[in-house]
Amino acid sequence: MIPRYSRPQMAAIWDPENKFRIWFEIEAHACDAQAELGVIPKEAAKAVWERGQFEVARIDAIEAEVKHDVIAFLTNLAEYVGDEARFVHQGMTSSDVLDTCLNVQLVQAADILLADIDALLAALETRAFEHKMTVCMGRSHGIHAEPVTMGLKFASFHAEFQRNRERLLAARKEVATCAISGAVGTFANIDPHVEEHVAAKMGLEVEPISTQVIPRDRHAMYFSVLGVIASSIERLAVEIRHLQRTEVREAEEFFSKGQKGSSAMPHKRNPVLTENLTGLARMVRAYALPAMENVALWHERDISHSSVERYIGPDATVTLDFALARLTNVVANLVIYPENVEKNLNQMGGLVFSQRVLLALTQKGCSREDSYRIVQRNAMEVWGGKGDLLSNLKQDADVTAKLSDAELEEIFDLGYHTKHVDTIFKRVFGRA
Amino acid sequence: MIPRYSRPQMAAIWDPENKFRIWFEIEAHACDAQAELGVIPKEAAKAVWERGQFEVARIDAIEAEVKHDVIAFLTNLAEYVGDEARFVHQGMTSSDVLDTCLNVQLVQAADILLADIDALLAALETRAFEHKMTVCMGRSHGIHAEPVTMGLKFASFHAEFQRNRERLLAARKEVATCAISGAVGTFANIDPHVEEHVAAKMGLEVEPISTQVIPRDRHAMYFSVLGVIASSIERLAVEIRHLQRTEVREAEEFFSKGQKGSSAMPHKRNPVLTENLTGLARMVRAYALPAMENVALWHERDISHSSVERYIGPDATVTLDFALARLTNVVANLVIYPENVEKNLNQMGGLVFSQRVLLALTQKGCSREDSYRIVQRNAMEVWGGKGDLLSNLKQDADVTAKLSDAELEEIFDLGYHTKHVDTIFKRVFGRA
Amino acid sequence: MIPRYSRPQMAAIWDPENKFRIWFEIEAHACDAQAELGVIPKEAAKAVWERGQFEVARIDAIEAEVKHDVIAFLTNLAEYVGDEARFVHQGMTSSDVLDTCLNVQLVQAADILLADIDALLAALETRAFEHKMTVCMGRSHGIHAEPVTMGLKFASFHAEFQRNRERLLAARKEVATCAISGAVGTFANIDPHVEEHVAAKMGLEVEPISTQVIPRDRHAMYFSVLGVIASSIERLAVEIRHLQRTEVREAEEFFSKGQKGSSAMPHKRNPVLTENLTGLARMVRAYALPAMENVALWHERDISHSSVERYIGPDATVTLDFALARLTNVVANLVIYPENVEKNLNQMGGLVFSQRVLLALTQKGCSREDSYRIVQRNAMEVWGGKGDLLSNLKQDADVTAKLSDAELEEIFDLGYHTKHVDTIFKRVFGRA
Amino acid sequence: MIPRYSRPQMAAIWDPENKFRIWFEIEAHACDAQAELGVIPKEAAKAVWERGQFEVARIDAIEAEVKHDVIAFLTNLAEYVGDEARFVHQGMTSSDVLDTCLNVQLVQAADILLADIDALLAALETRAFEHKMTVCMGRSHGIHAEPVTMGLKFASFHAEFQRNRERLLAARKEVATCAISGAVGTFANIDPHVEEHVAAKMGLEVEPISTQVIPRDRHAMYFSVLGVIASSIERLAVEIRHLQRTEVREAEEFFSKGQKGSSAMPHKRNPVLTENLTGLARMVRAYALPAMENVALWHERDISHSSVERYIGPDATVTLDFALARLTNVVANLVIYPENVEKNLNQMGGLVFSQRVLLALTQKGCSREDSYRIVQRNAMEVWGGKGDLLSNLKQDADVTAKLSDAELEEIFDLGYHTKHVDTIFKRVFGRA
């Protein structure tokens, strides 16, 4: 976890304080269920809730000696609870606590990330409607293609992050399970009722079958989804970096007063936030792999997954939270330069209308191949710097044999390209 | 695609024949919709369906010249359809065909993989019920822990592949979209109705917003899910490899007559199928990463994703199909040696009952810490090779002060560990 | 291996024909050494060389029955050699043949890749000297910074591929080892002399210690190096894609006669080759990971690495060979548009000289902070579209208090930025 | 950086204190060189060395305002140096400082890692000689094969880590470069002599050509090498985990007094250190990928690499340092149980001698195929639990027709398998 790329709320999930709080709740709820079953005295369960406390530093000190975190926690808890503490954790194994806790933390993290995505969706929607009809150049292969609108760009990312929201919801559901099944998952020493009770209290589903550990395919899926979301962040970041490059300059990250772009070149305004997001995406994506390698634990479990999760649990969620928030900020404050948008749109001498000319020719009975050759011939001239497409076409006998000047002029109309923007907006936003 | 790791049905999806067949259907359905709209003559659409054909070799020859696959296909198609061919592909862009086709192929692949998983689930269920009560040693960290049953092992994998089935269904849904939106996705030259028509006919959903290409986050998710499934395959493969190792030998891959294990050591029966599956899992997992890197295409699209998909489209699906089928075969025919299972169970001199002893002591009023020390003291002796746990405990005054011989003997009972197997089976299979 | 991305010479390395040829040589050389040692009759070794043959189809047929490739090969070999064939493979294990063969193939592949890099280096050097003094805009963060030259761009890639050449040489050395050490690497049944003899004959070093298999850290290193080379290819590909984008258009991939850029937009010239290379780089990079996962084989070996190597052996080398050759072709034929280069250079109204102004002010006694503020103030005006930097500075009293018009004009001189190009060229090419 | 998996010396490299110390040295040495060239006053360079200081908290405070780390540092430095501070950093760009500093840190990290590997090599060598002739079962595919020795196991890892040492040395050399080349690497505002001077003083080589940044292929190689080393750690960790599993129990991680293996099962001694190392290896390996993705920066540079390096710079080196140290400790203190080693060796009823029998039969004139069938027939009986191989062979007429009882007994001799251990040790250690 890099402080510079952390936000407090997400970071707090991974604090020892939060972890031990969850441990305490799991143990205390389990005591309730055990008391209900008559396995332990009701007073014991009550004592745990009433006197149960813990102190992180003390737990650390005990763990340094016993080299076992759950035993250290239970020992410290017993220092507060007293004699009844011997009824705590009965029939349970450490993983019951550890794995259920991890899942609670991942659910908490997912909830923050869902809120992050909602904020991003809101920003994207605002900017999409703001620039719904800001016609700009569409580019395939980095080459001018046909016009789109700035609003469509935002809408495309909105649709993508809607999908990411769905994926994250599914991933959250995947990890929202609870296991209190004992040493190797057989409930030999603990009744399944305890698991059901704790699950319900912690807002989780019962893990249908655990083998000491909660199966790690759930977590592999979770971190893979974070990797996909990070990849979407990268796509939006790269789009903005492209729009900001000097020769394009259709958009620019907000540049605050007092900010210095370069120690050497004072005029520079660099898209450093989106470049930063590009790098962060690489990290979150990379964390998917060890999560997948964690699945194949030996027999009923080994503990190789644990160290991996100490890294990627915090690192992936904290980084993604930071990245989503930064991206939302970039989107909400993105400066768009309509005059540059228009300048770029006109840069190609009307070449972007070439396909429409081609279609018009075929509709006039020209074969597709002939139409293609005629248009390409004229297009290549413009591309080479000679004139603009409309003027050139008006002087090409093969064209004028099929299309009048008026017909040609009608083709060179931007409105033609935006006539279905409403349709697309309705699909994406449910309104236009 | 490695022939040795391919099965014909899945490989056929990636044949040029299947690809061009899908292209043809997309184009022909699009013609129908265009004819409906009055954009092209109804006769043209009819002609495409009636006379439309293609020949892979001829398309290849044309492509070698024009260096563009869709144009090559359309040229070949025109050779069969004749003059009306000029109405084909009107207002569309190559990606409309390519991307919709890829998604159809991925859906077809998902359907085979779903059937593969169903077969695996069936095999796992059969073996789970067959060995529901075959008590065997449960192992954490590779160390004997407490008893489980062979059936529980199979049940655990069954639950995991049920989840994989759900994930794959979701991934299939993710990629089951159709885009016929023209050069940069604006429907400038084609009515959205065409897209709706083709989507319905091809069993797909309409892509809400495309930017020439169908957004690649969908595919990133798809291949990530394949990576997770591969990781589950690895877990099962590793379990079998462990069970087959000489010192354990509780299970063994079926060894057919005539098969030779080693050119040097004729007695060897190696778990080569599951070792092979372990390697295949590494490959399928690796393909998730370039799929994620494919998301951040430039502006409205670049074509860097295409070469990646030429590899991972076939390689990931074909390999996973082969791996699932091989795994099903291994599971269905796995030889289990009950006598070795039992021998291993008894190997530890009853140490696996230590936790139960510990619990019994605490229930008799002994503190958790004292109980732990007493049990560990006796356990360490057995571990060191001295006696078995039951006998030793009967001679430990601290124990006999709390537990009678009869009580101790009752503790050393395997039935204690299997009493909730039915509960778990009901959770996993809906029956016990 | 995708035919479209394969070249015959590299593909041939992975043909069964080449593989069995290498197997034959290993076995025959081993026979020579065994005969020298008196372990087998000299006539037997002679017979192997004289009558030894194999037929791929026949080996496949036998393997289908015995399910063991080396036994199948030896059986087929025996069909040609006759009775003396029983002396072949004595004391050896399959892996002796398989692993030594794989290393020979990887060495052969490395030799082709080294030649590929040499060709690329030659193309880069030619273009570097051709455009040594073609001053162009240097860009950091996609934003105009200060002038560089096109030649420096090529030189930078030349230096990078020189490093890649060194890495590949080291990787080639890593895998150029031979193991003929028997069942578990102890030479129990074969004298180390055989290994030394075969190694020398095959151009390899003796593997100091093998455990049936040649250790896979060697291969992990090899495929990691291929991944790094692929990443360098991506950097060069991305540079060209940027230079070709419509708004920049300083360079363009060669566009052959008859080539069609788009089925819809006939004017388009897309950087499809470098986009393709970007995708191929993702694949080669991805193959490094399973190669690393292959290292941790169980005990003296398991065979999980084998399936992985059936994929990445051919796929990584064939793809990289194709990519390097394609890149060399792109570089050699890259069209550079000097007029666009110059236009872009002048686009920023002289802002690129801002740092030099800043330095001049500090040298005149202005504090760094004051200088920065003065320059930024003027730069921001130009950035906002008002005038050019030189004119504006001449009207800024804070500037003119320190710098005369003549001094200012001297600062706005491109030659200032190219004065050390020769120094850099000498470092990179050993000549300027 | 996870405190639990960090060691102070390596962590200190990534402290702001160390970073700013290196920045200071770079700037101060650069001043010396500039003074030598007469670009700045000699007194200024002297003042920097004499009065130059910095305070981390103060730099942080300034950075919070100016949002630029190098400017913040220079501002703080100026607060100590005074007026002469305006000569600091002249003609340099931030990356000159940042990139050279990163390389110094990576070199420092490599030096610690090299020392770690040396310690590991020493431990492996000690254990190898200690157990040079401790004959144990060699296993391929987890199945008993032929005898090896414990010493050979250690020797195999020793050879692997010797290779890792070489790789790390090469990787260290790769990143030991210095760039002081100004805004886009052209030395427009700074003489190459400054770079040469700083490089020499900092123990680095001059970067032949930089483009504002030091090219990231160097770092990609560095982190790939760390990934390979991590994979070797995993191999050794997995070996120990296998040897410790209950059914094998030939070795055991040292179990300190007071350590508790399980909260539930007091008898358990789990290989948690090597399981932990398995997980750590997954992380270090994963970091290689974003390092490779960092290579393709845009044009003369973008800053996407920076956030990645803030993670993987510390995380990869600190984790690997911890892992190597932990592994050395595990190896040095590994408990080996010779009695279990021997028990396992005898477990297979002599089957491990089967290949030798096969060889003896062929040397007596039996065809390879016949020998194989005869041996396999007897081996399968033993495998099925009937007798031991030697006794069975003595009763097989096909065998006794070729081999006398005495000859058979000579075959069943462990010494046969260890006769070349000295040869191998000499290869690995230079002594036997």
Residues of A in contact with D264 (CB under 8 A): 92-94, 182-183, 189
**Domain C92-342 in CATH 1.20.200.10:** yes
Residue C306 and residue B279: Cβ atoms within 8 Å? Answer: yes
Percentage of chain A beyond pLDDT 90 is: 84
Residue B251 backbone phi and psi in degrees, to 5? -150, 165
Model pLDDT for residues B15-35, shown as the tens digit of each residue: 999 999 999 999 999 999 999
Residue A427 and residue B145: Cβ atoms within 8 Å? Answer: no
Nearest CA in chain C to D161: C217
Comparing CB atoms, the residue among B141, B266, B375 nearest residue D375 is B266
Q: Quote the mean pLDDT of chain B.
A: 94
Residue B232 and residue A242: Cβ atoms within 8 Å? Answer: no
User: Beta strands C177-178 and C205-206: pairing type?
Assistant: parallel
Instruction: Give every residue of chain C whose pLDDT is below 50, as ranges.
Output: 263-264
Nearest CA in chain D to B381: D267
pLDDT of residue B260: 58
Residue C290 and residue B279: Cβ atoms within 8 Å? Answer: yes
Question: What is the predicted ipTM?
Answer: 0.94
Distance, CA of B249 to CA of B255 (rounded, Å) = 14
D196 pLDDT higher than 90: yes
Structure tokens at D351: 């089957």
Comparing CB atoms, the residue among B215, B228, B420 nearest residue A186 is B420
Structure tokens at A21: 């709080």
Displacement of CA D303 from its chain's centroid (Å): 28
**Which is it for the CA torsion D349, D353, D357, D358, positive or negative?**
positive
Residues of B in contact with D266 (CB under 8 A): 354-355, 358, 372, 375-376, 379
Residues of A in contact with B211 (CB under 8 A): 138, 148, 152, 156
Mean pLDDT of A318-346: 96
Neighbouring chains of C at 3+ CB pairs under 8 Å are: A, B, D
Residues of A in contact with D60 (CB under 8 A): none
Neighbouring chains of B at 3+ CB pairs under 8 Å are: A, C, D
Comparing CB atoms, the residue among C71, C280, C310 nearest residue B263 is C71
Q: Quote the mean pLDDT of chain A.
A: 94
Closest C-alpha to A419, from A155, A156, A126, A135:
A135
Comparing CB atoms, the residue among A248, A260, A262 nearest residue C247 is A248
Comparing CB atoms, the residue among A89, A92, A263 nearest residue D71 is A263
Q: What one-letter code names the amino acid at B111?
A: D
Superfamily of domain B351-411: Fumarase/aspartase (C-terminal domain) (1.10.40.30)
State how far the alpha carbon of C333 is from the alpha carbons of C124, C232, C256, C326, in Å.
11, 19, 11, 11
Chain C nearest CA to D392, separation (Å): 22
Question: Cα angle at B372 between B370 and B375, to 5 degrees?
Answer: 105
> Residue D53's CB: how many other CB atoms inside 10 A?
12
**Domain B92-253+268-348+415-432 in CATH 1.20.200.10:** yes
Same CATH topology for B1-90 and B92-253+268-348+415-432: the answer is no
Residues 6+ apart with CB under 8 A from A349: A382, A387, A388, A389
Residues 6+ apart with CB under 8 A from A257: none
Distance, CA of D124 to CA of D327 (rounded, Å) = 10
- Each residue's pLDDT, cut to its tens digit, for chain B (432 residues) gives 899 999 999 999 999 999 999 999 999 999 999 999 999 999 999 999 999 999 999 999 999 988 889 999 999 999 999 999 999 999 899 999 999 999 999 999 999 999 999 999 999 999 999 999 999 999 999 999 999 999 999 999 999 999 999 999 999 999 999 999 998 999 998 999 999 999 999 999 999 999 999 999 999 999 999 999 999 999 999 999 999 999 999 999 997 665 555 544 555 789 999 999 999 999 999 999 999 999 999 999 999 999 999 999 999 999 999 999 999 999 999 999 999 999 999 888 888 888 889 889 988 989 888 998 898 888 888 877 788 899 999 999 999 999 999 999 999 989 999 999 999 999 999 999
**In the block, which residue shows the tokens 């031991």?**
D388
Return the SS3 of D336. Answer: strand
Structure tokens at A31: 């005591």
Q: How many CA atoms lie within 13 A of A354 on its CB side?
A: 31
Distance, CA of C215 to CA of D160 (rounded, Å) = 8
Distance, CA of B391 to CA of B389 (rounded, Å) = 6
Chain C nearest CA to D163, separation (Å): 8
Nearest 10 degrees: Cα torsion A195, A198, A201, A204: -60
Q: What one-letter code names the amino acid at D196?
A: E
- Per residue, what are the HEC states of D207-262? CCCCECECCCHHHHHHHHHHHHHHHHHHHHHHHHHHHHCCCCCCEECCCCCCCCCC
Strand partners, D335: D252
- Under CATH, what is the fold of the domain A93-342? Fumarase C; Chain A, domain 2 (1.20.200)
Write out the H or E segment, with its range, that includes residue A331.
helix A304-333
Model pLDDT for residues D217-232, shown as the tens digit of each residue: 999 999 999 999 999 9
Nearest CA in chain D to B359: D264
Distance, CA of A410 to CA of A404 (rounded, Å) = 10
Write out the H or E segment, with its range, that includes residue D139.
strand D135-140
Residues of C in contact with B307 (CB under 8 A): 2, 5, 276, 279-280, 283
pLDDT of residue D264: 47
Structure tokens at C8: 């015959």
Chain B nearest CA to D153, separation (Å): 19
Displacement of CA B285 from its chain's centroid (Å): 10
Residue C198 backbone phi and psi in degrees, to 5? -60, -45
Residue C141 and residue A270: Cβ atoms within 8 Å? Answer: yes
Interface test with A, best of D95, D226, D278, D329 (most A CBs within 10 A): D278
Got the DSSP string for C112-149? HHHHHHHHHHHHHHHHHHHTTT-EEEEEETTEEEEEEE
Q: Quote the mean pLDDT of chain D.
A: 94
Residues of C in contact with A247 (CB under 8 A): 245, 247-248, 344, 347
- Under CATH, what is the fold of the domain A1-90? Fumarase C; Chain B, domain 1 (1.10.275)
Catalytic residue among C262, C307, C367, C404: C262
| Residue ranges of domains in chain D | 1-90, 93-342, 351-411
Active site residue B262: yes
Burial class (CB in 10 A: 0-12, 13-18, 19+), D256: exposed
Residues of D in contact with C206 (CB under 8 A): 427
Catalytic residue among B158, B210, B262, B304: B262
Comparing CB atoms, the residue among C140, C142, C163 nearest residue D184 is C140
Mean pLDDT of D75-89: 95
Residues of A in contact with C375 (CB under 8 A): 266-267
Residue D267 and residue B380: Cβ atoms within 8 Å? Answer: yes
Burial class (CB in 10 A: 0-12, 13-18, 19+), A304: buried
Return the SS3 of C359. Answer: helix
Displacement of CA D233 from its chain's centroid (Å): 7
Residue A140 and residue B423: Cβ atoms within 8 Å? Answer: no
